[in-house]
Amino acid sequence: MSDISDTPRGSDEGVELEQQGDAPEFEKSAPEDRATEGPLDESEANPVRPYVDLGGVKILPREGLHLRLEVEEETQRVVAVGLDYAGSTLQVQPFAAPRSSGLWHEIRDQITDQIQRQGGRVTERDGAFGPELVAEIPVAAPQGGPVETRVARFVGVDGPRWFLRGVIAGDAAVQPEAAALVEDLFRSIVVVRGTVPMPPRDLIPLRMPAAPTAGTENDYSSL
């Protein structure tokens, strides 16, 4: 996964969700059926479903799904959840957001600007969750070889007091069948905003899950 997708707010590199006190308000961007089909708020989710609790998000296990936690080396805090599924990778990060306005319309511009400054190309299109970005991101080849590019899709959904960002790479970035499977996975995520006051664009805390029960198909590992 490119550095552009791995950096939360407050880091030195990547796309930062910068807090701007006087920034204009934007409408929320989300599918019309978000409250029933997801991504769900904790208050909308079925409490008896066997979710894996990662703090800021809950993940519904499914066959073939492998879960990774991405940890910031310096602080050892969990900064993202990586989901390997259907020949693809879905990285998700939950952020605090205003109650009445959204973040995705503004953040798309930030992502586009950052990728273009790195020499990449970005196209905006309507996707399963509304506007999304398809990016061709430069990847340095080993031993001074020619620069290659990697395709990634940036998706985002504004919920009640939270924003969920996803970065899709692998087959689901280019193949419709894999894309449908990973989009369904993104839909199944539950965001747990909590009641603690947080500035908009702050990463909602993530944590290690409890030990998986015997016989599960999921891998839980920390990078």
pLDDT band, residue 23 (cuts 50/70/90):
low
176, burial (CB in 10 Å: exposed 0-12, middle 13-18, buried 19+):
exposed
Burial 108-118 (b: 16+ CB within 10 A, else e): beebbebbeee
* Per-residue pLDDT tens digits for 145-200: 777 899 999 999 999 999 999 999 999 999 999 999 999 999 999 999 999 999 99
> Which tens digit of pLDDT belongs to each residue from 42-80?
999 999 999 999 999 999 999 999 999 999 999 999 999
What confidence score (pLDDT) does residue 93 get? 98
| pLDDT number for residue 10 | 35
Contact of 84 with 221, CB cutoff 8 Å: no
The b-or-e profile of 14-38 (16+ CB within 10 A means b, else e) is bbbbeeeeeeeeeebbbbeebeeeb
User: Which of 27-36, 39-48, 88-97, 202-211 shows the lowest per-residue confidence on average (mean pLDDT)?
Assistant: 202-211
Give the containing element (helix H, strand E) for 177: helix 176-187
CB of 67 closer than 8 Å to CB of 219? yes
pLDDT of residue 143: 73
Mean pLDDT of 204-208: 95
Tell me which H or E stretch contains 170: strand 162-170
Name the helix (H) or strand (E) containing 114.
helix 104-117
**What is the rounded average pLDDT for all residues in the chain?**
86
- Rounded to two decimals, the pTM is 0.83
What is the reported pLDDT for 11? 34
Distance CA 64, CA 57 (A): 19
Residue 139, phi then psi, degrees to nearest 5: -130, 120
pLDDT for the residue 211: 61
